[in-house]
Structure 1
Amino acid sequence: MQKKISIVTPCYNEEANVKELYEQVKNVISSELPSYDYEHIFIDNASTDKTGDVLKEIASTDKKLKIIINSRNFGHIRSPVYGLTQASGDVVFLVVADLQDPPSLIPKFIAEYENGYNIVLGVKQSSSENKLMYKLREFYYSVLHKMSEVEIFKNFTGFGLYDRKSINALKSIRDPYPFFRGMVAEVGFRVKKIQYDQPVRVRGITKNNFYTLYDIGILGLINNSKVMLRMAIFVSVMIGTISFLIGVVYLVMKIVYWDQMPVGVAPLVIGGSFAFSVLLFFIGILGEYIGQIYTQVLDRPLVFEQERINFD
């Protein structure tokens, strides 16, 4: 029986890239993987440009191209995971629309799948993006890797192959606001990493900003580690101990130098401000955990669909 590849591409305002990505995927599979059937699913996050029109025009002549259009923009975290759950292939690829995930690597990923690997991950060994941003990402994933209760793959953005077994495992994780990279680490199975050089975005602009980067960053820490909560206990004990020792030293010095040593307002203000800032930081961390619990309790669907095309 002929096996089927599902390519899942989340997109938002990518009218300049979706057609070229579609053509690249089609050419790679038809020329290098003729024994496989395939479908290419674009999940459009309610784009405000002509992304939907471009995709619909292609879909009218090629039934292998399938489209899901969300009822609104559900963000860069929920929509891609939902797209993966709608794929019907024996293997599923997650490939973003900005052409920074090279479709030319698909045959190499398939070769590793045929060697028995359940998950084949694309791991960046270099990137043409801003060097400072690349280093910051690398530092973040190093910290997350050390703090996490499961192995978090460094320089992995989601680009990769997932077999039907791993997709079913991912679907069983009921998380209304999922950290996909943590989910991949959680399910385990046999994982193969393939290094690649990430090309620069040629057309369009990135949809990531400070808030979206913070959102996914803090989500990774909260979903995969309790270290931040436990750190509050250790820091409070440490600051309390240091404050007690400073207080004892200050008391002794005041007794010895009663007339020469004034109490001073500055140490009290500085110490109070420092303690208050630490307190606010950990209240914020606690709030993030509570917010995540609230999201889990609501248990809302990942997305609501407005339209789907070529799903028979």
Structure 2
Amino acid sequence: MKTVSIVTHAYNEEDNIEALYLRVREIMQAYPQYAYEHLFIDNHSTDATAAILTRIASQDHHVKVIVNARNFGHIRSPIHALFQAVGDCVIGIASDFQEPPDLIPEMLAAWEEGYKMVLCVKRSSEENSVFFWVRKQYYSMVERFSSVETIQNFTGFGLYDRQFVDIARSFNDPYPYFRGIVAEISLPSKRIYFDQPARKRGFSKNNFYTLYDIAWLGLISTSKVPLRLATAAGFLGAAVSFLIALGYLIAKLVMWNTFSIGIAPLVIGVFFLQSMMLVFFGIIGEYIGAIYTKVQQRPYAVEQERLGFEYSPYPPDSANGTAAPASLPVESISTAAD
């Protein structure tokens, strides 16, 4: 019997988490041919999210819960959960209903057709129109810069075969850009387009820094173009400076007594060059920071506790789970990026 893992990451989602669990359970009732598990990872929420998940896990052995010892961020915590799933396929879905669980049947159907990746791509969004436009322009820029084909308006929502998960694990990247990994692996895939609904309850936990972090991570993980732009800008700046200097020299020779260079061009030039240097030092710093993060080899997350892992996945029409070892260790551990 095939096993389906559904993975949901959550942070302060007490208003949404139980409704999502109930909707997924309702959908999976139509698939008695699959054993399934619903794995939640709580990124050290400060509200009642962990308590709600603990209660659900005690009542339904389809549910497994990981509670992080602290907030490990929006990159490391979800990938940690992905690698704890034991299913023949893994469906990653957010806890805020902006990634509709109603697409699960379509994803499973595509997987049964033989696709190793089923990627859910936003066709439109009910979020702020300015934000959606900015995101779209960003994805377009990353696609132009990247050495591999990336997918615009794709956030990671989708289904992934066990083959994909094992390959992604082998990347051994402690701070991975998941969308870049999907583009790099490029197993046979199918795209499902959907209209992203507005968040029903609560508010987004993404602030300016998290969005900025994701944006830079996407650029430096998939492309060397920013570094090469810095080099090209250096050559261009040198050429322009030479031409301006030559022009000033000619002007001075022709109008020796009337032409005054003044201090303004010098000041403007110095400020321009200094600002360009700071920009390119920042770009280089981002790449150095990525290298530093990689060589540290820290774990994706340190678990405070895990619940429900003593039960193997089982079909939705079964009365209970069987207390049997899963294919991954069940003790509370700190899982390194290996």
TM-score (norm 2): 0.91
Match of 2:197 in 1: 199
Q: Deviations over 1:86-136 (max 9, x none)?
A: 001111000000111111110101111111100000000000000000010
Match of 2:303 in 1: 305
Match of 2:84 in 1: 86
Matched, 1:28 2:13: no
Match of 1:220 in 2: 218
1:45 shift after superposition: 0.3
Match of 2:117 in 1: 119
Q: Distance in 2 between matches of 1:232 and 1:158?
A: 30
Q: Distance in 1 between matches of 2:47 and 2:151?
A: 34
Counterparts of residues 103-142 of structure 1 (less than 5 Å): 103-142=101-140
Counterparts of residues 1-312 of structure 1 (less than 5 Å): 2-31=1-30, 33-312=31-310
Q: Deviations over 1:132-173 (max 9, x none)?
A: 000100000000001011111110111100011111111111
1:202 shift after superposition: 1.2
Residue type of the alignment partner of 1:263 = I
Residue type of the alignment partner of 1:18 = I
Q: Deviations over 1:57-112 (max 9, x none)?
A: 11111010110001100000111111100001111000000111111110101111
Identity %: 52
Q: Distance in 2 between matches of 1:175 and 1:119?
A: 20
SS in 1 for 2:59: coil
SS in 2 for 1:174: coil
1:6 shift after superposition: 0.4
Residue type of the alignment partner of 2:10 = C
1:34 shift after superposition: 2.5
Residue type of the alignment partner of 1:129 = E
Q: Distance in 2 between matches of 1:105 and 1:177?
A: 28
Q: What is the RMSD of the two structures over their aligned residues, measured on CA atoms?
A: 0.7
Q: Distance in 2 between matches of 1:59 and 1:298?
A: 34
Number of residues paired by the alignment?
310
SS in 1 for 2:29: helix
SS in 1 for 2:267: helix
Tell me, which stretches of 5 or more residues in structure 1 are unaligned? none
Q: Deviations over 1:162-196 (max 9, x none)?
A: 01111111111101111111011111110111000
Q: Deviations over 1:262-291 (max 9, x none)?
A: 111111111111111111100010011111
Q: Distance in 1 between matches of 2:209 and 2:308?
A: 35
1:207 shift after superposition: 0.6
Match of 2:323 in 1: none
Q: Distance in 1 between matches of 2:277 and 2:158?
A: 41
Q: Distance in 1 between matches of 2:208 and 2:253?
A: 52
Q: Distance in 2 between matches of 1:277 and 1:175?
A: 33
Q: Distance in 2 between matches of 1:16 and 1:149?
A: 41
Residue type of the alignment partner of 1:104 = D
Q: Deviations over 1:194-248 (max 9, x none)?
A: 0001100011110111110000100111111111111111100001101100100
TM-score (norm 1): 0.98
Q: Deviations over 1:2-30 (max 9, x none)?
A: 21110000000000000000000000110
Q: Deviations over 1:29-67 (max 9, x none)?
A: 103x23212100000000000000111111111010110
Q: Distance in 1 between matches of 2:208 and 2:52?
A: 29
